[in-house]
Amino acid sequence: MSKKETQTQTRRFFSPRKKFCKFCAEDIHYIDYKNVPLLEEFVLDKGKILSRRMTGTCAYHQRRLASAIKKARIMALLPFLPE
């Protein structure tokens, strides 16, 4: 598996640092929708939620993160659209 990965990586552009899930690394289990500075890291200025491919978040935390961001949007803590 590692061989395949390195092969595809050499063909395409890749970042030199390996991505990792921030929530696993920092042991964050409950992603709070009120924690705006944390959520902002995973949102574009456009308001879009960054993909797992971009951020390296694991599937479990990406699901939690997405719902937290959506809750934050409802409470006007994060924008739906850029102003």
Three-state secondary structure call for residue 4: helix
CB of 32 to another protein, least distance (A): 9
User: Is residue 74 a contact residue for another protein (CB under 8 A)?
Assistant: yes
User: Is residue 8 a contact residue for another protein (CB under 8 A)?
Assistant: no
Three-state secondary structure call for residue 49: strand
Three-state secondary structure call for residue 30: coil
The pair phi, psi for residue 29, each rounded to 5°, is -100, -40
- Rank residues 12 and 46 by Cβ distance to another protein and give the closer one: 46
User: Is residue 30 a contact residue for another protein (CB under 8 A)?
Assistant: yes
Binding positions for another protein, rule: CB under 8 A: 29-30, 33-34, 60, 71, 73-81, 83
